[in-house]
Amino acid sequence: MTAPEAPSSPPLSAAWRRAFKAEFTTAVLGSVGMVLIAGLWIAHAYGTNAIAAFWTGSIGSWYALTSGTLVRAVPLILTGLGVAIAFRAGVFNIGAEGQLLAGAIAATVVGLQWAPVIGRLSLPCALLFGATAGACWAGIAAFLRARFGVLEVISTLMLNFVAEDLVSYLVRGPLQEHLHIYPQTEMLPHVARLGRLVPAGRLHWGIVLAVALAVLVWWALSRTAAGFRLRAVGANPFAAATTGRITVSSTSTGALLASGALAGLAGAIEVTAVTYALYENISPGYGFTAIAVAVLAGLHPLGVVGTGLLFAALETGATAMQRDAGVPAVWASAIEACLILIIVAVVARRRRHPIDAAEAPTS
Amino acid sequence: MVQQHFSNVAAFTVAENVALGSRGRFSPAAAARLVLDTAASAGLELDPSALTSDLTVGAQQRLEIIKALAHGARVLILDEPTAVLAPAEAMQLLAWLRRFAAGGGTVALVTHKVLEALGSADHISVLRRGQLVTTGSTDHFTADALATAMFPDAPPEMPTRPSPGTTQGKLLVEAVDLNLRGARGERRIANASFTIHAGEIVGFAAVERSGHSELLRALAGLFPVNAGELRLSGRVSYVPEDRHRDALILDFPLYENLALRNAAARSGLMDWSDFRHRTRVLLDEYSVQAESPGTTARQLSGGNQQRFVLGRELEPRPDLLVVENPTRGLDLRATAAIHERLRMAASAGAAVAMYSSDIDEVLLLASRILVVFRGTVREVPVVRELVGRAMLGTP
């Protein structure tokens, strides 16, 4: 997961690396054990075809892989990246969901309005405006934080609900399709849609974009001066301000805006590549799962790709299990939660009892 | 147990802090009475209704002691209690400890000051690297014997203070009617005028909260000047008092901590191989015990961390080096190494502005001393008594 010249990381990530070294086996055994027990229980209660349904419905078949897991991974990776950037800067952006919706709204409006005018250019414009809208939505929280000291944990969380209600209003009001029957917008014209990556199936170019952005974010955090400042502010704002003479507030504002832009882009891609229209519940909580995706990856941008895929596989597999074998999808959520708990517990334990007891107080 | 770093809730009153840890119902009046009773019987003075964050360090220490006594403690363990006190306050505390012991109490005093141990203890034990080296009645020890027990190979010699600079170097800092105000507009420094020249070590002496922290931060360019003038010429480096909080990112490797210095001024890409190389040079030059430049700052001991920080701040050859409590928490040998570096920097032509809460450290290093008392700054001859009196505002 880390390159040879591994960039340093905030406490969490450092703890992670240590956890991986020393208690990797514990975590792996615990997780595998948990999954096995859950699997056996499901097999016992619902029959072995439930497990088979999970497998073929997530990564066990070409169709499920390309049309299910990978498609679902795109918004998870992008929002996860956004959350990771913010958390690395010490900004607790819990509002990726709202920023994603803001991006989806902007992309829908741009795609619908501009496609007849500027044709193919409306797609990049939709993505660009989607990212900008996400940044602006996060910008509200950034402004409140910088101007009035409002905790971003509260403001970003609250703005999620505002965004959800805004979508509800728009798809029933000004943006509703012309028959006024369904609570959704018109379908985007083909010129404003993101292309498919494979001929059959729903996989689109978004996955390439998401992975490329993960690499870009990783590179920026580890190699650029701005990325270094962001990490420094997140790891120790006092030292960043005193020794680094960094303006902490503007660095955290920048991180929050970048975070919102990535979530907004995720929303724009959902609309232009998957749903082709805006409606309520366009996101099954991608922005919330993103927090788990980012934390589980130790806030490492490349790790986010892995955990994004993992969660996408779990969720699509669970859906398949429910559809084909009648196993409630909450089973997958429960397993997901258990996995997170095991790994977080291991990390927390490691942080409290560092291996290197070299913290001698004097000399 | 009275820790070196106090464990009070800053937003609580004295009485609330004392009541913390008791069981049952909380009654403000009863808590206040408890504080007053305990304070009276112990012969200590403390206002139960004062907000803890407003207390001086000496008073916070009394609070810690009263907290312990109020819960029935008869054995007090104090970890470096005089490190944060002005000389007069330290004397008072040590005298009180004697009285407490005379009244049937027991005191375990942890200190690295040989004279303090000899002056106030009945019984002395020396610990080194987790082992009990020697123990016995105080009569059996001399200062030399104690120092040897603490540092068996080559006990550090107390270096003599350099004579006050005869030739003055270039004028580097000139403060004219300098005024500094805190975040809420309260006055920190009033109409201070002084100069600092190249090649000299100017010591700042003050008791806590006299305004010296703000003054030093202003010298380092980290605190806004409210009125008057502070003319600085040349590069300034700053070694803050709290290295874990302000100087280092503990979970970052050393080469990133090197890059942290003035990171705001950097742009474009970070040349990590260059930083690694420079870190290696620095580790060598300042004899920092670290495995590699990739070692995290957390893995270093306090002395090595401080040598690293000092080395980093001296790397760009600053004209002015501002240092605050440079040897806090370090043992004698690490302290001597830091002092040596500061002297070297000064003789190489840098001006050093140095504050220490240990007045003897200031006296040891400084060629001139500026005393800060309630926001006023004045120069005092390098004489222990005069400095000590000026710190407490007595003429």
Task: Note the pLDDT tens digit of each residue in B320-339.
Answer: 999 999 988 788 888 898 99
A residues 327-356 closer than 8 Å to B (CB): 354, 356
Structural tokens at position B61: 């220490």
Residues paired with residue B181 on neighbouring β-strands, in sequence order = B187
* Whole-angstrom distance, CA of residue B383 vs CA of residue B48: 37
Query: Could you tell me the sign of the dihedral formed by the alpha carbons of A312, A313, A318, A323, in that order?
Result: positive
Q: By the 8 A CB rule, do B192 and B355 touch?
A: no
Q: Exposed (0-12), middle (13-18) or buried (19+): which is B252, by Cβ within 10 Å? A: buried
Q: By the 8 A CB rule, do A54 and A318 touch?
A: yes
* Whole-angstrom distance, CA of residue B24 vs CA of residue B9: 19
Structural tokens at position B224: 């806004």
Based on its alpha-carbon atoms, the radius of gyration of chain B, rounded to whole angstroms, reads: 23
Neighbouring residues of B114: CB distance < 8 A, sequence distance ≥ 6: B143, B146, B147, B150
Q: Which residues of B touch A (CB under 8 A)?
A: 221-222, 238, 240, 242, 245-253, 256, 259-270, 272, 296, 298-303, 329-331, 333-334
> Could you give the C-alpha distances from A202 to A71, A127, A197, B145, in angstroms and in order?
7, 19, 8, 82
Q: Residue A362 has what pLDDT?
A: 35
Q: Under an 8 A CB cutoff, do B252 and A229 touch?
A: no
* Whole-angstrom distance, CA of residue B272 vs CA of residue B267: 13
For residues B356-371, one letter each, b for 16 or more C-beta atoms within 10 angstroms of the residue's C-beta and e for the rest, the string is: bbbbebbbbbbbbbbb
Q: Under an 8 A CB cutoff, do B249 and A246 touch?
A: no
Structural tokens at position B46: 């403390």
Neighbouring residues of A310: CB distance < 8 A, sequence distance ≥ 6: A296
Partners of B329 on chain A (C-beta within 8 Å) are 361-362
Lowest mean pLDDT among A345-349, A350-354, B151-155, B199-203: A350-354
Q: By the 8 A CB rule, do B259 and B252 touch?
A: no
Q: Residue B359 has what pLDDT?
A: 84
Q: Residue B151 has what pLDDT?
A: 65
* Whole-angstrom distance, CA of residue A86 vs CA of residue B83: 40
Beta-sheet pairing, B320-324 with B187-197: unpaired
- The string of pLDDT tens digits covering residues A205-215 is 999 999 999 99
Report the 10 Å Cβ neighbour count for B317: 13
- CA-nearest residue to A219 within chain B is B269
Phi, psi (5° rounding) for residue A231?
Answer: -65, -40
* Whole-angstrom distance, CA of residue B189 vs CA of residue A86: 38
- The string of pLDDT tens digits covering residues A61-83 is 888 888 899 999 999 999 999 99
- CA-nearest residue to A357 within chain B is B299
Residue A127 pLDDT level (bands cut at 50, 70, 90)? very high
* Closest CB from A5, A246, A363 relative to B263: A246
Element (H, E) at A334: helix A330-352
Phi, psi (5° rounding) for residue A342?
Answer: -60, -50
* Closest CB from B240, B261, B298 relative to A359: B298
Partners of B222 on chain A (C-beta within 8 Å) are 241-242, 245
Residue A354 pLDDT level (bands cut at 50, 70, 90)? very low
Which one of A236, A238, A300, A356 makes the best mutation probe of the B interface by having the most chain B beta carbons within 10 Å? A236
Q: Residue B39 has what pLDDT?
A: 82
- What is the DSSP-derived secondary structure letter of residue B372? E
Phi, psi (5° rounding) for residue B137?
Answer: -70, 150
Q: List the one residue out of B158, B139, B155, B138 whose CA is nearest residue B147.
A: B155
Q: Which residue has the higher pLDDT, A242 or B185?
A: A242
Residue A30, pLDDT > 80, answer no
- The string of pLDDT tens digits covering residues A299-334 is 899 999 998 998 899 888 888 888 888 888 777 777
Q: List the one residue out of B334, B301, B287 whose CA is nearest residue B112.
A: B334
Phi, psi (5° rounding) for residue B270?
Answer: -95, 125
At residue B236's C-alpha, the angle toward residues B230 and B238, to 5°, is 105
Which one of B235, B239, B251, B328 makes the best mutation probe of the A interface by having the most chain A beta carbons within 10 Å? B251
Structural tokens at position A53: 């349904």
* Whole-angstrom distance, CA of residue A52 vs CA of residue A49: 5
Q: Under an 8 A CB cutoff, do A224 and B270 touch?
A: yes
Q: By the 8 A CB rule, do B248 and B255 touch?
A: no
Residues paired with residue A263 on neighbouring β-strands, in sequence order = none
* Whole-angstrom distance, CA of residue B270 vs CA of residue A87: 22
Residue A28 pLDDT level (bands cut at 50, 70, 90)? low
Task: For chain A, give the mean pLDDT.
Answer: 85
- What is the DSSP-derived secondary structure letter of residue B101? H
Q: Under an 8 A CB cutoff, do A363 and B302 touch?
A: yes
Give B176-202 as a 3 state SS string.
EEEEEECCCCCEEEEEEEEEEECCCEE
* Whole-angstrom distance, CA of residue A167 vs CA of residue A179: 18
Q: Under an 8 A CB cutoff, do B249 and A240 touch?
A: yes
Neighbouring residues of B106: CB distance < 8 A, sequence distance ≥ 6: B74, B75, B76
With a cut of 50, which residues of chain B have pLDDT below it?
154-166
Q: Which residue has the higher pLDDT, A143 or B386?
A: A143
pTM, whole model, 2 decimals?
Answer: 0.78
In this predicted complex, what is the ipTM? 0.82
Partners of A224 on chain B (C-beta within 8 Å) are 268-270
Q: Residue B179 has what pLDDT?
A: 93
Q: By the 8 A CB rule, do A307 and A343 touch?
A: no
Residue A247 pLDDT level (bands cut at 50, 70, 90)? very high
* Whole-angstrom distance, CA of residue A235 vs CA of residue B28: 40
Q: Which amino acid is at B213?
A: S
Which one of B219, B222, B252, B310 makes the best mutation probe of the A interface by having the most chain A beta carbons within 10 Å? B252
Neighbouring residues of A249: CB distance < 8 A, sequence distance ≥ 6: A146
- The string of pLDDT tens digits covering residues A164-218 is 999 999 999 899 988 888 999 999 999 999 988 888 788 999 999 999 999 999 9
Q: Under an 8 A CB cutoff, do A8 and B296 touch?
A: yes
